[in-house]
Amino acid sequence: MRFAVVSFPGSNCDDDCVRVVREVLGESAHKVWHGDDDLGAPDVVLLPGGFSYGDYLRCGAIAAGSPIMGAVRRFAAAGGPILGICNGFQILTEAGLLPGALHRNAGLSFICRDQHVRVASDASPFTAGLSDRVLRLPIAHHDGNYHADAETLRRLEGEGQVVLRYCDAAGDSHDAANPNGSVGHIAGVRNAAGNVVGMMPHPERCAEPLLGNEDGRTLFEAVLRQGSV
């Protein structure tokens, strides 16, 4: 499969994504600059983490208007699988490709540590076959507090659009296991069609034995099992 990894000014996890695709999955990866207007005919698009445009205005807000986002929108509309990780998730919400918004962590601190999450829906290309799986993934963000209004939240929960939920090691979600104040302990969501997914945790940072944790690899392997679009 061909993975396109979009680099925005300030992205800093793009090379990590490329490494996972090439070295861990053994698939093809190419980087696409935000100023381009062509994704290079990929099967999967990854929007990596980082601090695009220095998080100016709101995290992801300026990147959401980048030239490449037109091609990302067309890819999304055609049903292509897209995963936004951390800042990539923020960009997808700012672009209106995913519901809700991410704002300042409830505790106001930048949080960088491992966090357990449970797969809340397997109806997405990146969580297929992983229903109820508890994963330990790194989080590293200042603005990961997921917000959606009550009506949107009801729709997300009703339609199974919540894909990852913060939890403890046993898989139970409660306030003490919620790192940032996200409503519904939401760590990741998908769009209504299911092909666009965003998550705050970083699966690309825990996908090989050298890093001491391979839980992240399962999410990338899930999309490989889906085959080409």
Partner 1 sequence: MKGTVTVRLKGGVLDVEGKAIEGALGRLGFADVAAVRVGKVFEVTLPDGDPDAARATLEAMAAQLLANPVMETFEVALEPS
Binding footprint of partner 1 on the chain (CB under 8 A): 57-58, 61-62, 65, 93-94, 99-101, 103-108, 145, 147-149, 181
Radius of gyration of the chain, Cα coordinates, nearest whole angstrom: 16
- Is 174 labeled as catalytic in the residue annotation? no
185 φ/ψ sector (left φ>0, alpha ψ -120 to 50, else beta): left
- Is 208 labeled as catalytic in the residue annotation? no
Q: Minimal distance in Å, beta carbon 9 to partner 1? A: 17
Q: Minimal distance in Å, beta carbon 46 to partner 1? A: 23
Of 35 and 65, CB closest to partner 1: 65
Residue 188 tokens read as: 């990741």
Residue 69 tokens read as: 């986002």
Of 8 and 220, CB closest to partner 1: 8
Q: Minimal distance in Å, beta carbon 66 to partner 1? A: 12
| 171, burial (CB in 10 Å: exposed 0-12, middle 13-18, buried 19+) | middle
Of 33 and 56, CB closest to partner 1: 56
Of 69 and 119, CB closest to partner 1: 69
- Is 86 labeled as catalytic in the residue annotation? yes
Q: Name the DSSP letter for residue 8.
A: P
Q: Are β-strands 134-141 and 196-199 bridged in parallel, bridged antiparallel, or unpaired?
A: unpaired
Q: Minimal distance in Å, beta carbon 108 to partner 1? A: 6
Options 86, 94, 103, 141, the catalytic residue = 86
Residue 114 and residue 199 in contact, taking contact as beta carbons nearer than 8 Å:
no
Residues 6+ apart with CB under 8 A from 11: 48, 49, 50, 52, 87
Catalytic residues, by residue number, are 86, 202, 204
